[in-house]
Amino acid sequence: MTVNEVLNKVFPLGSKVEIENNIVSGEGRTAAGIVQIIGTCNNTVIGVDEILALSVKFLEVMRENPGRPVLMMVDNNGQKMALNDELLGLNQYIAHLVKLQDMARRNSHKVIALVYGNSIAGGFIAFGLCAGDTYALEGSNTSVMALPAVARVTKLPLEYLEELSKTVAVFAPGVKNFYLAGGLQSVWCDDLNQCLENALKEDQCSDMRSRIGMERGGRSAAWNMTQKILDEQ
Amino acid sequence: MRLKTFRSYFEATARQRVAGVFDKNSFAELCPPSEQFGSPHLKHFNIPLSFDDGVVVGDVLLGGMKICCAAQEGRFMGGAIGEVHSAKIVGILKRCLKKKPEAMVFLFDSGGVRLQEANAGEIGVAEIIRALLDVRYAGIPVIGAIGGSCGVFGGAGIISGCCDALVVSEEARIGVSGPEVIETNMGVDVFDSRDRALVWRTCGGKHRYILEMADDIVENSMEAFRNALIKLMKIKKTYDLAGLEKEHEILKKRSTDFSDCRDGFDVWRKIGFSDVEKIPSLTVEDLKAQQKNRGGVK
């Protein structure tokens, strides 16, 4: 689905976005009020230029509409792999964008990420996983690395990895596996407007992902490990 | 005697770094290898476990002050971030909120997310970032050190960009996609990863220091890192919107100033260094002196 097709379903009361260089920005109307829309489209890669454009949108909403909820529309094919972006310090640019999302949440904005296309590797960390809550649309795609590439790096046969991916959620690509590991709060389907209304009610105060991952059986060790270190005298 | 006191930070293991950088015999490791918390996932890949999962965390003293620390072990799977590895780091960060140390010090050495447990590692990076920013928001500085064989790449590079301050050595490398990854995906014409000098001019410690991505650059020794960390932990930066607005202006200016640069040499020349060809062979002291004379990037 295109970004506008998804937005029409999320905001039946209406939404309006502008798209420039694969950066999406605008507003959507809900029963509870206006939601700011900040996103990307066309499977863009997240480089320095994309980050600066997205960062400006976060700075604007914090300055001009304090407390207004933000819906991040996520679709990327990962971080940009280019010498110039690395030369400039892409890691610091991504960190900047991530801090802005974090600061918006601390300043009482609900920050909701919806993966509606792809979200991959450094692109998913830059724009998706560091929101207050992260969701994915049914049929979207989240991954760190495709299995053929994992096979090359780990020197294991692709057939073996494909078989393993059916039972081991922790490494295989896919929305279902990210959901099981606690990385996605829920997967949106059917009434997308209701999904958004529900998401707006979450308090986003604490990070419960490792606990959720344990409860869903996709990430069994993390929560206890963290608690053990926290609780030791 | 220099020979007696010089101990390479680059060559050291995570535990040697903890012992060499922080106050003698002050380290209390949490969930040490004797408790056998390895990765539950590596068995599927026929990879032997490490009972610390490649990261050491605990309470320690630095210059007599109570701090919390994490040190990544680059020799185990390239310091890669998996489920237990990230959960230990999240644990020590959350512990900071409870114990209120003078600082949190992070000795990085990691190529990023561990592919064998990619989803857990990727989510783990996001959890580390959120917990790290909680620590900063609480007014406890988070200081990073980079000078190990793996540098910081991928998710680890992004985490390092969230710290209050960084100290690097010349041997440090900081980035998101490593040179080999860019070459594999985009072709050798885009980035020749075997050109080591180009790699260092693109993501090496000196370049990062010149760009002011690192607050200090030191020679490759335990003492030098120790002294720099003691200085940096006194820096109090506030984590707030005004600070991020300032950061935005710096990053915007950098991207405009150096948008046509394809090599560290181009950047350094534009900044105003003379004799850029000599920078790779400058001592750390000489580089710092030149940086100071220039008055920084601003």
Domain ranges across chain A: 3-231
> Please, which residues 26-45 of chain A have a Cβ atom closer than 8 Å to chain B?
none
| B130 touches A207 (CB < 8 A) | yes
> Testing the interface with B: which of A133, A225, A231, A233 to mutate, by most B Cβ within 10 A?
A225
The 10s digit of each residue's pLDDT in B240-278 is 999 999 999 999 999 999 999 999 999 999 999 989 999
Mean pLDDT in chain A? 96
Q: CA A229 to CA B87: how far, in whole Å?
A: 9
Q: CA A112 to CA A204: how far, in whole Å?
A: 9
Domain boundaries B2-174+214-237, CATH class: alpha beta
The 10s digit of each residue's pLDDT in B107-154 is 999 999 999 999 999 999 999 999 999 999 999 999 999 999 999 999
| B106 touches B127 (CB < 8 A) | no
Residues of A in contact with B98 (CB under 8 A): 230
On the CB side of A26, how many CA atoms lie within 13 Å of its CA?
Answer: 18
Q: How far out from the chain centre does Cα A231 lie?
A: 30
Q: CA B64 to CA B106: how far, in whole Å?
A: 18
| B80 touches B54 (CB < 8 A) | yes
A172 interfacial to chain B (CB closer than 8 Å): yes
Identify which of B148, B155, B179 has the alpha carbon closest to the alpha carbon of residue B80.
Answer: B155
The 10s digit of each residue's pLDDT in A142-195 is 988 888 888 887 888 999 999 998 888 898 899 999 999 999 999 999 999 999
Residues of A in contact with B154 (CB under 8 A): 121-122
**Buried/exposed B85-121: b ≥16 CB within 10 Å, e otherwise:** bbbbbbbbbbbbeeeebbbbbbbbbbbbbbbbbbbbb
pLDDT confidence tier of residue B2, bands split at 50, 70 and 90: very low
pLDDT confidence tier of residue B1, bands split at 50, 70 and 90: very low
Q: Which of B117, B131, B159 sits opposite A170 (nearest CB)?
A: B117
Locate the domains of chain B by residue range: 2-174+214-237
Sign of the dihedral through C-alpha B159, A96, B199, B20: negative
Phi and psi of B110, rounded to 5°? Answer: -155, 135
Q: Is the pLDDT of residue B298 over 70?
A: no
Q: Which residue of B has its CA nearest to A219?
A: B120
**Residue pairs spanning A and B at CB distance below 8 A:** 238
Q: Which tokens in the block code for residue A7?
A: 């937005």
Task: Say whether A57 sits in a helix, a strand or coil.
Answer: helix
pLDDT confidence tier of residue B295, bands split at 50, 70 and 90: low
Q: Which of A98, A130, A170 sits opposite B120 (nearest CB)?
A: A170
| Average pLDDT estimate for B183-212 | 92
Portion of chain A with pLDDT greater than 90, in percent: 89
- Is A86 in contact with B182 (Cβ distance < 8 A)? yes
DSSP string computed for chain B = -HHHH---TTTS-HHHHHHHHS-TT--EESS-GGG----SSGGGGT----TTTTEEEEEEEETTEEEEEEEE-TTTGGG-B-HHHHHHHHHHHHHHHHH--SEEEEEE-B-SB-GGGHHHHHHHHHHHHHHHHHHHHTT--EEEEE-STT-B-HHHHHHHTTSSEEEEETT-BB-SS-HHHHHHHH-TTT--TT-HHHHHHHHBHHHHHHTTSSSEEE-SSHHHHHHHHHHHTT-----SHHHHHHHHHHHHHHHHHTTT--SHHHHHHHHT-S-GGGGGGS-HHHHHHHHHHHT---
Residues of B in contact with A218 (CB under 8 A): 119
Q: Which tokens in the block code for residue A185?
A: 């709060």
pLDDT confidence tier of residue A38, bands split at 50, 70 and 90: very high
CATH number given to A3-231: 3.90.226.10
Q: CA B205 to CA B188: how far, in whole Å?
A: 23
Most confident region among A50-59, A149-158, B31-40 by mean pLDDT: A50-59
Contacts (Cβ under 8 Å, ≥6 apart) of B39? A221, B49, B50, B53, B82, B83, B84, B85, B117
B162 interfacial to chain A (CB closer than 8 Å): yes
Q: Given this model, what pLDDT does residue B164 score?
A: 97
- Model-level pTM? 0.97
A65 interfacial to chain B (CB closer than 8 Å): no
Residues of A in contact with B111 (CB under 8 A): none
pLDDT confidence tier of residue B6, bands split at 50, 70 and 90: low
For B9, other C-beta atoms within 10 Å of its C-beta total 27
> Testing the interface with A: which of B119, B192, B210 to mutate, by most A Cβ within 10 A?
B119
Q: Which tokens in the block code for residue A6?
A: 């998804």
Q: Given this model, what pLDDT does residue B296 score?
A: 53
Q: How far out from the chain centre does Cα A83 lie?
A: 25
Q: What does DSSP say about strands A23-30 and A15-20: parallel, antiparallel, or unpaired?
A: antiparallel
- Is B123 in contact with A93 (Cβ distance < 8 A)? no
Q: CA B145 to CA B124: how far, in whole Å?
A: 20
User: Which uninterrupted H or E stretch holds A141?
Assistant: strand A141-143
Q: Is the pLDDT of residue B4 over 50?
A: no
